């Protein structure tokens, strides 16, 4: 079938909304009419070629929509079902077989290599291959998606709100709820208060953390962080976060830190905000870090770890987050700014500039 999709033809190329061909779903796939799609910094990195993407490509990996057609092997979903789309996982490797889909042995291959579960791509243009992304390519009017990627959205839930939970929001929230698992009274620092960081902060509030220290360089983000549950906000341009946290805690430091900027020096700062036995979860795509490992990690018995997709099994965790939202405990809507699909270039630019914490493209109802 012919659909509309935002195609990027080359590294750093613009998003061009064009007509492309979408193949019919195979036995384990469904056809989804896309309602909305969040924009994540992973999309921005892929547009720049950071992950070795093959162009042309249709990006987008935080989609939601309505099932139009289900393959013969799909029993969990049927036409008319409302769904959110998350990352791809094989369902067969040791990690997937033990419920740890975020550690799938094919994770990079299935999400970044430009092909689908079966090694091809459902997308083409003028007879030429167009790469897919995260098994969904949700910057489009329609998507063909493997059943593993899909999560049911409750009736009455706004699909525009459900869309961005598929990656960034579950990454931030999951780093706290699934990995760190603080108890009431534990202190936590959240460094980098974008969509991922704000989600971690809201999760920390759910856990009863105290203090919750938000660190960023943008005052408007810090103001929102205080509204969402931070007990202290630190602008790192004007204040030393390590000094501020240690003064706040009587020199002990906090038990946990979540670092979401991916900047090496910010990671090091987050490490040193924790006390002995501190645990630091790094959610941002970090590349370079200089640290005195013995003095700052080993001698302090700290744990420094990377987090992918919030250590989440999406089929279990996303419904939990949506339930928290419906109960007023996890106000995802306060992070979101909506854009028409045709305004995708502006939405991406606003994301890069920090104007929008979580841009969400709206394709249809």
pLDDT band of 288, cuts 50, 70, 90: confident
Q: Two tokens at 12? A: 């750093």
Helix (H, G, I), strand (E, B) or coil at 6: strand
CATH of 2-166+331-362, one of 3.30.70.100, 3.90.180.10, 3.40.190.10, 3.40.50.970: 3.90.180.10
Q: Mean pLDDT across the stretch 202-214?
A: 98
Q: Could you tell me the pTM of the whole model?
A: 0.95
* Residue bearing tokens 């660190």: 215
Q: What is the pLDDT of residue 131?
A: 97
Name the residue among 23, 286, 278, 325 with its Cα closest to residue 169: 325
36, two tokens: 């909305």
pLDDT in tens, 340-357: 999 999 999 999 988 899
**What residues contact residue 53 under an 8 Å CB cut-off, 6+ apart?**
46, 112, 114, 131, 133
DSSP 237-269: TTS-HHHHHHHHTTT--EEEEEE-S--HHHHHH
pLDDT band at 36 (very low <50, low <70, confident <90, very high): very high
pLDDT at 331: 97
Distance CA 150, CA 73 (A): 14
Q: Which CATH class is domain 170-308?
A: alpha beta
The SS3 of residue 123 is strand
Domain borders along the chain are 2-166+331-362, 170-308
User: Cα–Cα distance between 176 and 232 in angstroms, integer?
Assistant: 18
Q: What is the pLDDT of residue 364?
A: 64
DSSP 8-state class, residue 309: G
Give the pLDDT mean for 287-296: 92
Mean pLDDT of 250-260: 97
Q: First and final CA of the chain: distance in angstroms?
A: 20
DSSP symbols for 143-165: EEEEGGGEEE--TT--HHHHGGG
């Amino acid at each position: 079938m012919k659909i509309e999709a935002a195609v990027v033809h080359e590294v750093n190329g613009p998003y061009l909304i064009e007509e492309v061909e979408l193949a019919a779903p195979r036995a384990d796939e469904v056809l989804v009419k896309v309602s909305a799609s969040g924009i994540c910094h992973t999309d921005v990195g892929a547009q720049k070629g950071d992950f070795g993407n093959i162009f042309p490509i249709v990006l987008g990996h935080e989609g939601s929509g309505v099932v139009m057609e289900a393959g013969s092997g799909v029993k969990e979903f049927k036409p008319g079902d409302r769904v959110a789309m998350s990352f791809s996982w094989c369902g067969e490797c040791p990690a997937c077989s033990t419920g740890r889909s975020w550690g799938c042995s094919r994770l990079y291959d299935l999400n970044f290599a430009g092909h689908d579960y079966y090694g091809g791509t459902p997308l083409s243009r003028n007879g030429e291959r167009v790469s897919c992304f995260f098994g969904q390519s949700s910057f489009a009017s329609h998507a063909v998606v493997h059943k593993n990627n899909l999560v049911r959205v409750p009736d009455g839930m706004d699909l525009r709100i459900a869309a961005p939970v598929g990656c960034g929001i579950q990454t931030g929230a999951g780093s706290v709820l699934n990995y760190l698992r603080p108890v009431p009274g534990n202190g936590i620092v959240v460094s980098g208060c974008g969509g991922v960081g704000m989600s971690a902060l809201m999760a920390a509030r759910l856990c009863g953390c105290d203090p919750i220290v938000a660190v960023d360089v943008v005052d408007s983000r810090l103001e929102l962080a205080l509204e969402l549950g931070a007990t202290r906000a630190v602008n790192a341009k004007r204040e030393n976060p390590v000094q501020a946290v240690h003064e706040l805690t009587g020199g002990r430091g906090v038990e946990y830190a979540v670092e979401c900027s991916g900047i090496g020096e910010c990671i090091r700062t987050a490490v040193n905000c924790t006390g002995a036995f501190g645990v630091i979860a790094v959610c941002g795509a970090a590349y370079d870090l200089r640290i005195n490992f013995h003095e700052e990690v080993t001698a302090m018995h700290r744990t420094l770890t990377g987090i992918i997709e919030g250590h989440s099994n999406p089929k279990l965790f996303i419904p939990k987050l949506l339930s928290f939202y419906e109960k007023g405990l996890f106000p995802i809507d306060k992070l979101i700014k909506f854009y028409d699909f045709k305004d995708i270039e502006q939405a991406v630019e606003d994301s890069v500039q920090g104007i929008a914490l979580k841009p969400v493209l709206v394709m249809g109802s």
